[in-house]
Structure formats: structure tokens, C-alpha cells
Amino acid sequence: MRAALAAIVLALLSLMPLAALAQTSPPLSAVQIVEDNRAQIEKPSRQTIGPVIAGLAGSGDPQALVILSAWANRGLGVRKSDGAFVLISETADGYVLRALDGSDAGTAARADITELRPNAGVRGVIATALVQFNLSDPDPARRADALTTIARDPAPELLDPLRASIDAETDPVLRARKDRLNRLLTLRFDPDSATRIAAVESFSGDLGLDLRGALNPLLATTRRAAPLGTAIDGNIARDLKPGSDLTEVEAYDLLVAANLAPARLTPAELKSALAANITDGAVAGIPLADLNTQAARNRAYTALEVAGTVPVAATDEEVTQIVAGHRFVLTYSEPDTAVTTAAQAVLTGIEVKLGAMQMADLALDALSLASIYFLAAIGLAITFGVMRVINMAHGEFIMMGAYTGYVVQLFIPNYTLSLIVALPLAFLVTFAAGVAMERLVIRHLYKRPLETLLATFGISIALQQLAKNIFGTQARPLTSPAWLDGALTFNDIVSISYIRVAIFVLALVFLMFFLWLMKRTRLGLEVRAVTQNPSMAASMGINPDRINMLTFGLGSGIAGIAGIAIGLFAKVTSELGNDYIVQSFMTVVVGGVGNIWGTLAGALMIGTLQKGIEWFNPSNTLAAQTYMILFIILFIQFRPRGIIALKGRAAGD
């Protein structure tokens, strides 16, 4: 016995060096892995090639990167003479060859090489494997591309290589991207529940789209059912109540799909089954005369089921009974309850913050639209609000200003300089047009609003046709300077374009200019005097005709500058003014005729109202404008003088 035991010990001791040798044997080289998997590499498929590519990526052999890159780019081939794998570079006469270890292998004609061409699926698997190498590539651009690839197609096997590359990352921007991506992959793929929960909670308050994309798969749910009293495995989100959370039809279809209930009996199947089983004037012993109700026909079919004559199917009454005997739930795809609880808490916080951000973005949009309407209406506030002239051609002055900017850019290619030149030039052009229109037409029609409306409407059509004759019907570009490109972005939700910011600033500038002009200058004093009492103003030495001419020209000139601003983001066509004339009149009327603060209030009200309606019905902006007009009509019924009405003698004129 002792001799046998000693022999066993000696045998084990003799095997120990072999075991140690086996444990310290080096991993297979990339070349050996390729040779050992020749058949799969020559005829790969996405389903079977994964382990081979994973073996190459995990081999630690630097040559694996060369082989995988060549394979993905159709740079891997098989030499027909000896069947050897070679790296190929195409030339005019054939190929330059290198062995898989990188050594020179001569050249070959095209006919001597079989080029390996992996399909898109295999190339995708290779690209995922290459990401592991690119994460530590010396080129920052390749590291950035690797992070983009991981973010686009995250996978569990990429988590460890990503983590390993973080400490060695020297670029602070890329390091921050890696850290964020690491947490996003951790919350989905890490095997430790506590680590995943910590990763989820680290994103509390974050509004990133990538975070929501990572959390949503954790909270994806599936409808499941089981008989009452039977436990349902899985992470249950909540119970579903047939009739409220899902219809009876949906509930029963779920049972049929889970093989928990027979298929529903259709009326056609019922009729066919009963007709095929009529025996001696009865079906299953029930006379045909008694089958005049649905309940009787159902009983007959049930009897046929018991007899095994027809397949089992559920009648309407049975469907109701079967549904009542089952429990329906939503279960999370993620089995860990603690993870889904943490994810739901973070996502709920995100949704609350997201709602607040969406309201802020909507408010910015409304403010931006209000500034556009105010800029378009401020000239009309002078001609219509102060002079009481209904100028239907006001939109065409906006159009003339936009076309002036376009013509200036034809001669001055520098967009910043062209904008500086175009703004005063647009004012001068439209000011001159307004003065000419007032001298030739408007002055003869004061206190005749209907004739003024018809005359200016005719001038509007004439100016549109003139613009078509000169510039054609095609939209013309009015390009903004480079410093107005892009948007002022606060986060993924809230942003506003720099052009709209510039228009908002321009609207404030013109508000200040108008207030200064009317309150601090002689012209403003004379305009207010003529507006309130032309006869008294004339007796004081003021020329009402001159003041009316300058006032109309000023309003028209401001409309021209508004056209420059609007043309920077809208199409410049002969119909440009039509898009803003209605809103301009509504802005002045709703705000209060003759009051610049009323015009501002009207622009804010109309801009906010339109954006609010569009938010409820974003797919139909025309309906939003229609509802807005209806609302304004109702508003005027209750407040005909507008938001800020004139008081005193001016209000009665």
C-alpha cells in the first residue's frame, strides 16, 4: 500500500513541470490563428466568424492589427500556387505581396491571387475588433473615431478595452469622452449590480441624448401573461388591467401567442363547422330550429369540441372567461430590479428637467418670432399706428429691402462688409420709395381709408410684379456673415441661432431708436403734434404735409432694414412681404394703434401664441396661424383698442 502511494506521489511530481510549462506557454500568434481557421476566413459569415476575429484581437500580437485592417479593406488574399495567406497591395500589373508576418513575399499576377472580400456584416465585426486597437492609437483622430464607433454600436466586449485606455489618455477632451462612454457602457453591460447603479446615478440631471439612448434599453418592457395564482418570473414593472391598460382583444391575442389559450373562433369558422356537422336536422343534438341565437350556436360548437369533431377554439363568452382567469404584467428586459429602479429615477428626473428645458426652448422660439414680427411691424406702427394710413404695400417695402441686400452682395463678396453697406442703403431705397408713394398717392387719400387700402393694395401687386420682372421667380440668396452661422447652444434642448439673436438685438435697437426719435427730437415732437391735432400744429408753424411725408418715409425705411434682417434666414422672393404683412397688421392692432409699447406687446403675444399652438400641433403650421387669427378676432371683440390703448384726446381721434 505504501509502495503504491509513493508511486502516485512520484508520478504527480513528475507531471508538475509539464503543468507549469502548459500554464506558461505563449498565446497563439496572429499568423497561427489565421492558419488554424482557414476555412472560416476564406468563407466567412457574421454568425461564425466572431470567435476568430475575437481571437485575433485578443492575441496581443501587433501583427493582428495589420491582418485585420487588410482583411477589412480587401487587402487579404490567398496565393493559388501554395494556398498561403498573403497581404496584397494592388498595382497596375497585379499585386505586391507580403507574408502575414510582414516579410516581403514578392509579386503576383491577378490570376494567381484569390482576393478575400468580406461582406458588410463581417466588415462590421472586424471594425468592432479594430476599435480595441484604435483606442490607444497615437493619432488622436483615430482614437476619436474609435469612440464614435463604440458610441454608435456599443457592445459588452468593448467595455474592458475602453477602461484600459482611459489612464493612458493624454488628450483631456478625449479622456472626458472616454470617461463618459465608459459610464454609459458600464450601466448597461457591467456584471456587478452596484457598479451599474453607481454609473446610472452619476448621470443624475444629465440631458444628453446618448444617456437617454443608454437608459431606454434598460427600461424596455414586454407584455406577459400567466394564469391567476401562478408566479411570473422576471423584473415586473407593473400589472396591466384588461379594459383599461389593454383591450380584451389585445389581452387574448397575448394569451394565444403564449400558447395559454386556443385561437379565437371566428363567425365564418363557426358557421362552417356547424354546417359540416348537421346530422338528422340537428348539430350535436341541438335541433336546427334552436340554433337561432349566438349562445345556442356557441353551445353547439362546444359540444362538438368535447366530441373531438372540431378543433378547440374560443367563443366570445369563453374569451371573456379566459382573460379574467389570467394576470397580465409588463416586465423589464433588464432582470436586475435595483438597476431598473435607479434608471427609472434618473430618467424621471431627466423628463422633468427636459420638460422645463423644452418650455425654455419654446419661450426662446416665441421671443425670436416676436422680435421678427416686431421688426416687421415697427415701420407699420409709424405709418398705420401714427398716421392712420392703411398701407397694404408695407410688405413690399420689406421685400425691397431684402432684394437691396441681395444686389449689394453681388458687388461686395465680403458678407460682413456687404451687410454694413446694405443696411443703410436699404433704408435709403425704401425711404425714397415711401416718400414717392406718399407724395404721389397717399397725400391725396388722407382720411379716406377704403380708397387708401385699395390704392396701396394695387401698388403692392405692381411692386411684386416688378420684382418678378427684374429678379425672376426663383428665390435669391441673402447670405449671412460667417460669424452669424451656427447657434447659441445651452444644452441638447435649448438653442437659438445667431441670426435670430442678431434680429432680437436689432429689434431692441430700433425700439430704442424709435423712443429717442419720438421723445427726444424735434421731428418726433412735430410728428406727435400733427398726429394729435394737425390744425393746431399748422398754426404753430409746423408743415403737416412735410411731417407726413417724412413719417411715411421713415416707416418705409425701417421696413427696408427689416427686410435685410428677415432675408438672412427666409427665402428672398417677390412674395416675401406677403408672409409678414398680415402678422404686422395684427401686431399693431392687437398691441394698440399708435403706441410703440403696444406694438411690442402685440408682437410678444402673437409670437408666443403662434409657437404655443404649433407646439400642440407641430405638423400643421397653417392650422396654427388659422387658430391664432381666430383667437385675435375674439380678443379684439373684448378689447377693441388693443393691449395698451391710447388715452385722452388721441384715443378719440
pLDDT in tens, 464-504: 999 999 988 888 888 888 888 888 777 767 788 888 888 88
In the prediction, which pLDDT does 1 show?
41
The mean pLDDT value for 525-535 works out to 79
Q: Is the dihedral of CA 617, 620, 622, 626 positive or negative?
A: negative
* Cell matching residue 600: 411690442
| Cβ-proximal residues to 477 (8 Å cutoff; 6+ apart), any chain | 406, 409, 572
Q: In terms of pLDDT, which residue wins out, 426 or 10?
A: 426
The mean pLDDT value for 367-375 works out to 85
- Over residues 438-448, the pLDDT tens digits come to 889 888 887 78
In the prediction, which pLDDT does 593 show?
67
- Over residues 600-642, the pLDDT tens digits come to 888 888 888 888 887 777 666 666 677 777 887 888 777 777 7
| Rounded Cα gap, residues 426 and 62, in angstroms | 66
pLDDT greater than 70 at residue 25: no
Of 516, 650, 569, the closest CA to residue 376 belongs to: 569
In the prediction, which pLDDT does 465 show?
92
pLDDT greater than 90 at residue 430: yes
- Angle between helix axes 193-201 and 172-189 (nearest 10 degrees) is 130
Looking at residue 198, its amino acid is: A
pTM of the full predicted structure? 0.59
The mean pLDDT value for 168-187 works out to 91
pLDDT greater than 60 at residue 21: no
Cα three-residue angle 611-613-614, rounded to 5 degrees: 60
In the prediction, which pLDDT does 268 show?
84
In the prediction, which pLDDT does 424 show?
92
Confidence of residue 304 (pLDDT cuts 50, 70, 90): confident
In the prediction, which pLDDT does 106 show?
85
- What pairs with residue 286 in β-bridges? 283
- Over residues 531-547, the pLDDT tens digits come to 777 788 788 888 888 88
- Over residues 236-265, the pLDDT tens digits come to 888 999 888 888 888 988 988 888 888 888
At 290 the three-state DSSP class reads helix
In the prediction, which pLDDT does 138 show?
84
CB atoms within 10 A of CB 33: 21
Confidence of residue 180 (pLDDT cuts 50, 70, 90): very high
Confidence of residue 3 (pLDDT cuts 50, 70, 90): very low
The mean pLDDT value for 423-439 works out to 92
The mean pLDDT value for 497-517 works out to 85
Confidence of residue 421 (pLDDT cuts 50, 70, 90): very high
The mean pLDDT value for 144-172 works out to 86
The mean pLDDT value for 313-331 works out to 87
Residue 264 backbone dihedrals phi, psi, to 5 degrees = -70, 140
Confidence of residue 594 (pLDDT cuts 50, 70, 90): low
Helix (H) / strand (E) containing 251: helix 248-257
Give the chain's mean pLDDT: 82
pLDDT greater than 50 at residue 650: no
